[in-house]
Every structure is written in C-alpha cells, then in structure tokens.
Chains A and B, each alone.
Chain A
Amino acid sequence: MSKTTEELYREREKRVLDAIALTKPDRVPVVALFSFFPAKYSNMTVREVMYDPEKQWKAYWRTLTEFEPDMDQNPFALRFIGPLLDTLDFRQLKWPGHGISDNFTYQFVEDEYMMADEYEAFLFDPTDFMIRKYWPRVFGALGGLGKISPPRHIVTYAMGMPFGFAPYNTPEVAASLDALKAAGEKSMEIAKYAASYTAKAKEAGFPMQYGGFTQAPFDTLGDYFRGTKGLMLDMYRRPKLVIRACEKLLPLMIDMAVGASRASGNPRIFIPIHKGLDGFMSMEQFHTFFWPTLRDLFVALINEGIVPCPLWEGNCTSRLPTIGDIPPGRALYGFEATDIFKAKEILGDKVCIKGNVPLSMMATGTPEDVVAYCKKLIDVVGRDGGYIMDAASSLDNAKTENVRAMIDFTKEYGVY
C-alpha cells in the first residue's frame, strides 16, 4: 500500500530532524538548492521566472515533483523578485533586463553603501541610518527619504511634531512614499505566492528546508554596507568600529531569524557564510572579527528552538576546530569546498553535515562521476547518521542527469 502524502511529509521531516539530531534516520536525506535550475529544466529563461509568478510556479513545481528531494525550498522569496526590483529601482543587484542577459542569474553589485566615516552614525541609530542614508543608496526610488527628519526627533506634540513632518510635503518625499506603496503591492504578491506554495507542497508531502534567512553580523556589514574591500581594509584601519558594528548588528540578525521562523512556523533558518572563509581572513582575524558574533547568533537561535543552517561557502577547512563550539545536535552545517571528510572527523559528534558534490562535477561531469562521489560521501560522511546529501551550492548550471543521479542514488544506496 502506498503512503499518504501526510505520511510522506512526516517521514521526510523526521528523516531530516533525525540527521540534525545526530541520530540515524531510515536513510540519508537528500535536498537540493535548485536556484534557477528549474527555469532551464522547463525551457524558460531566468527572466521569465523572475517576472511571471505562474511560470515560476510551474517550473519549480515540476522540478519538485519530478525529482522528489526530501525537502524543498520555497522559490518565491528569492526568485520572484523582478517586479519588486523594478519598482524600487534596486541598485545592489544586476538582473536579466538590467545589466544581465535573460538566461543568467542575478548578481550582487559590490560597492560601499555605507562610507568609512559613517560608522558612528550607524552605531548611534542604525534604523535611522538605514532609512535616511542607506535606503536612498540601495533603492533608487527612495531617494526622497534622505530628506525626512530623523524619526527619533518626533516624539510628541512638544517634541519634534510641529515642524517634524514638513519634509513630507516635498515632491521628493512624496515620490518615495508612492514608491513604497507600490513596493507594498509587489511584496504582498510575493508573500501570497510564497504562502500558497508552501501550503501546496505540504499537501503534496514536501516540507520546506528553511523558514527564513539571516546572516553573520560581519557578513551583513561587509556584503551590504561596507563592501568586501571596504570591510577588509577596515579590519586594519578601524578595527574597534568593525567589532562594535558587528555587536550592534547581532541582535538585529537574531531578531530577523526569530521573526521569520515564528511567521513561517519552520525552525530552520538559512545563513550563508561569505567572508569568514579560509583565505578571506587570517585565523586571528576570524577569531577577532567573525566568529564571536556568529557563534553568539547560533547560540541565541538555538536557545530560541531554532536550527541555524549555515552554508559555509568556499573552503573553511581551517575553521573546523573552531566552529564545532556550539551545542551538539542543534545545527546543520552545509559545506561547499571544505574538506567534508575532515569535517566528519572533527565535527561528526557535534553537528549534522550537508553537502558537497562539487558544482564543477554537477555541471561538467557525468552521472557516473556523481554516483561515485555520492557513494563515498554516504560511506564516509554518512556513516552512523548526522549527514544530509546535497550539492556544494546552487544547481543553476547543473546537468539534469547529474541532479537526478545525486537524488536517486542517495535514495537507493543511502538506506541505513
């Protein structure tokens, strides 16, 4: 007798939860970061799925139901963003139709969106800094917000109120308020599709991998505010301010994750790791600038009942002894180019490991290559549980037969 979708849902959720808890599931779970792979798989362009929610639904639903990974990723929040990017005239990405051709994935535009001399303003009142300085830089349509008075100045009738609203009567601010309203409509549409996709997937027996997103404080500061180069130089020129900014961002990053997890009802929060990698800073810098607030983030989330799911991008082999210092069995570490066999040795009794079929193999190799690599992963890293099969990172340019090989072989060979 075949299982009901409800049974399948519980079975898949339990499989992943068992692996995270470092116990042995019925078999090695397998998941995938499809990214824009479903567009190619359904003969659509990246541009089409970014702008047309129905096409996006079709492409991702088809991929989910034809490959059947143990968990899915809701595509809408990170993929159906074309109309919102347009509305806000977003400056931190280039995307199809905006500096990128139709079949390529969107990419981040490195820049200093907070200047070196603006740390104090950020530390003094980060939300005000973001609304009046940072938003006008990253959203072309919100330039007028640079003209409003600091929200903290408007307290009551005797403090700030009488004159404080005057800037809202200028055309620039009015235009920004219109843009905010239009963005609200686009956001609502993304949220609507995202919610119904998760519900539909649940009905079909598929849990979602993640219920939200946050980042290491240092990564947030480097990716979106100071830029990679800016922040690297700040470690020499203004180290104390870097640490203070990371500490300021920490509760905001915790709050973001807790809020998303509560709203989605999903305990797993995705945390891509960008700048703490081997080569990107010395071990001393890692211990000074990167790890302290990241560890605090992990522990705070764990204390809230949340499972931090960092994807340690690049190679983090030298960081392995450090990053095991968290409560055991409560997190999920994805690895990209880290020596995953060494990770098993060092972290095996501390944290569930996920990954890492190389993207070069997924894009240029054969199914036989993939099967051979997956066999080794299951035999060595999968031994006694605590392991989830996945590719190293986004599958955008993977060959269909290689994705199929990774998923099907794991289901067949990964049974404990």
Chain B
Amino acid sequence: MNDKLINLMADLQEEETMKMVEELIASGTDPVTILDDARRAMEVVGKRFEQCEYFIPDLMMAGEILQGITKMVKPRIKQAQGAGKKGRVLVGTVAGDIHDIGKDIVTFMLDVSGYEVLDIGIDVPVETFVEKTREFKPQVLALSGFLTLAFDSMKKTIEALVAANLRDGLKIMIGGGQMDDEVRKYVRADAYGKDAVAAVNLCREWIGG
C-alpha cells in the first residue's frame, strides 16, 4: 500500500498522481498494487463526498484520474481481473428521459465499489428493462430519471417487472433530479437515493460488500 499515491489521488492532484504512477511503473512496481491503491483512494473520495467535503465535480475529477491510471496500468496486467464481484446491478435512465450525468456517476461509483454493473443507457424502453433483468439477473435495479415525465416511466417499468414475475427478490432504487420519497411510493420502488454514494450504500445494505 502506497500512502503517498493514495493521498495524492484522493486530493485530486492529477498531474502529480500520474507522474507518480509513471515512476512506479518504471521502477517495476506490480501494476495490480497500483490499481488497488487507486481503488483505496476512491474509497477516500467516496467518504469525503459522504461527509460533504467533496461534491460532484470532485467525483468526476477522481473518475478522470482513475481512468488515466487504468489506461496506463491495464495493458501491463496479464490475467483478467474482475473475478469476485460483489453482486449485479442493472442501471438505466427510464423511457423518455435522455439525461445521463447522474446515471453515469452512479454507474462509476458502483463499479469502483466492486459491483458488476450493467448500464443500459438512456431513454430505455420498459420492455428493454424487463428483457435485461431477465438476462442479467441483477440483485439490484437502479432507475434514473431527471424530469417529472420519468415518474410514469418508472412506474410502468416496475409494473412490467411485476407482470413478468421478475419483481420478487429484486431490489429497486430510484434517483435523479425530480425524485424523492413521494415518487418512490408512487412508482413502488424500494428506495430513493439522493446521490451516487447513497446508491452504493443501498447496494451494501441489500447485497453486502
């Protein structure tokens, strides 16, 4: 564990972080440990976000740094990673709504938190949610929406899952601009999450990890 690297990245010092990663690679450090440290740094970032020290731009910047490190390090890792994921989460923005910024942050945070995430994009038709739920067999479904028009799309999506006998055992969370607990009741989801860290915490509560 390299505390200096973790701190640089958690403090969002992009240039210094990338320089250090380059040096570590050049000096023969195992690339897997570099990625592990990057993940630890992301945990710090997540905590700071939860404690309102960090905000959305900080998450985005951390995401950029992580992407930069992954790009440098991944080609040097021989065996495929990705084993031992904590659970499956299906994510998408509901029919009629084309907003993706919030959804993308949720996908990213769930991914770095160790979940196997399938993000099926924006303006996702009800039938596609049903089909993907059947195929991917997620433990958690995360429905995103920014506008009030998403209320009914969420409601219809969940009704369709009930009709397809896929609702039992599936936990459903909603989030996005106009969502709140009133909407959660209206669409009959299990929880409303106010941000990406809330989404991660809900997954931890529901499927562990």
Within 8 A of A (CB), among B177-197: 177-180, 182-183, 185-186, 195
Q: Is A223 in the interface zone, CB < 8 Å from B?
A: no
Complexed CA–CA distance, A363 and B151 (Å)? 8
- Establish whether residues B57 and A285, one from each chain, have CB atoms under 8 Å apart when the complex forms: yes
Closest to A99 in B: B98
Q: Is A165 in the interface zone, CB < 8 Å from B?
A: no
Q: Which residues of B contact A236 (CB under 8 A)?
A: 12, 14, 57, 61
Complexed CA–CA distance, A233 and B58 (Å)? 8
- Establish whether residues A232 and B60, one from each chain, have CB atoms under 8 Å apart when the complex forms: yes
Closest to A46 in B: B149
- Establish whether residues B182 and A365, one from each chain, have CB atoms under 8 Å apart when the complex forms: yes
Q: Is B171 in the interface zone, CB < 8 Å from A?
A: no
Give the secondary structure class of A's interface. mixed
Q: Is B206 in the interface zone, CB < 8 Å from A?
A: no
- Establish whether residues A104 and B96, one from each chain, have CB atoms under 8 Å apart when the complex forms: yes
Q: What is the CB-to-nearest-CB distance from A155 to chain B, in angstroms, rounded to a whole number? A: 42
Complexed CA–CA distance, A109 and B99 (Å)? 8
Closest to B177 in A: A314
Q: Is B111 in the interface zone, CB < 8 Å from A?
A: no
Q: Is A358 in the interface zone, CB < 8 Å from B?
A: yes
Knowing A233-B57, A279-B195 touch, does A363 contact B148 (C-beta < 8 A)? yes
Q: What is the CB-to-nearest-CB distance from B45 to chain A, in angstroms, rounded to a whole number? A: 13
- Establish whether residues B60 and A229, one from each chain, have CB atoms under 8 Å apart when the complex forms: yes
- Establish whether residues B14 and A101, one from each chain, have CB atoms under 8 Å apart when the complex forms: no
Q: Which residues of A contact B57 (CB under 8 A)?
A: 232-233, 235-236, 280-282, 285
Q: What is the CB-to-nearest-CB distance from B92 to chain A, in angstroms, rounded to a whole number? A: 16
Q: Is A237 in the interface zone, CB < 8 Å from B?
A: yes
Q: Which residues of B contact A314 (CB under 8 A)?
A: 177
* Chain B proximity mask over A326-363: 1 for CB below 8 Å, otherwise 0: 00000000000000000000000000000000111101
Within 8 A of A (CB), among B43-65: 54-58, 60-61, 64
Within 8 A of A (CB), among B92-151: 96-101, 123, 147-149, 151
Closest to A235 in B: B57
CB within 8 Å: A-B pair count: 81
Complexed CA–CA distance, A398 and B182 (Å)? 14
- Establish whether residues B55 and A282, one from each chain, have CB atoms under 8 Å apart when the complex forms: yes
Q: What is the CB-to-nearest-CB distance from A243 to chain B, in angstroms, rounded to a whole number? A: 15
Complexed CA–CA distance, A279 and B55 (Å)? 5
Q: Is A248 in the interface zone, CB < 8 Å from B?
A: no
Complexed CA–CA distance, A340 and B123 (Å)? 32
Complexed CA–CA distance, A14 and B183 (Å)? 37
Name the contact of B101 in the complex, choosing from A229, A237, A359, A394 (C-beta under 8 A). A229
Q: Is B159 in the interface zone, CB < 8 Å from A?
A: no
Knowing A99-B98, A107-B99 touch, does A364 contact B151 (C-beta < 8 A)? yes
Closest to A230 in B: B60
Q: Which residues of B contact A107 (CB under 8 A)?
A: 97-99, 147
- Establish whether residues B101 and A101, one from each chain, have CB atoms under 8 Å apart when the complex forms: no
Q: Which residues of A contact B98 (CB under 8 A)?
A: 94, 99-100, 107, 109
With most chain B CB atoms within 10 A of its CB, the pick from A101, A110, A232 is: A232
Complexed CA–CA distance, A216 and B97 (Å)? 25
Name the contact of A279 in the complex, choosing from B56, B64, B148 (C-beta under 8 A). B56
- Establish whether residues B97 and A397, one from each chain, have CB atoms under 8 Å apart when the complex forms: no
Q: Which residues of A contact B151 (CB under 8 A)?
A: 360, 363-364, 397
Q: Which residues of B contact A94 (CB under 8 A)?
A: 98
Q: Which residues of B contact A219 (CB under 8 A)?
A: none
- Establish whether residues B149 and A360, one from each chain, have CB atoms under 8 Å apart when the complex forms: no
Binding site for A on B (CB under 8 A): 12, 14, 54-58, 60-61, 64, 96-101, 123, 147-149, 151-152, 177-180, 182-183, 185-186, 195
Q: A94-B98, A233-B60, A280-B56 are in contact. List 6 more A-B contacts (CB 8 A).
A: A99-B98, A105-B147, A236-B57, A358-B182, A364-B151, A365-B182
Binding site for B on A (CB under 8 A): 94, 99-101, 104-105, 107, 109-110, 228-229, 232-233, 235-237, 279-282, 285, 314, 358-361, 363-365, 394, 396-398
Interchain Cβ contacts under 8 Å between A and B, 16 examples: A100-B98, A104-B96, A105-B149, A110-B99, A229-B60, A232-B57, A236-B57, A279-B195, A280-B57, A282-B58, A285-B55, A360-B182, A361-B182, A365-B182, A394-B148, A396-B149
Closest 7 CB pairs of A and B: A232-B57, A397-B148, A364-B186, A360-B182, A104-B96, A360-B183, A232-B60
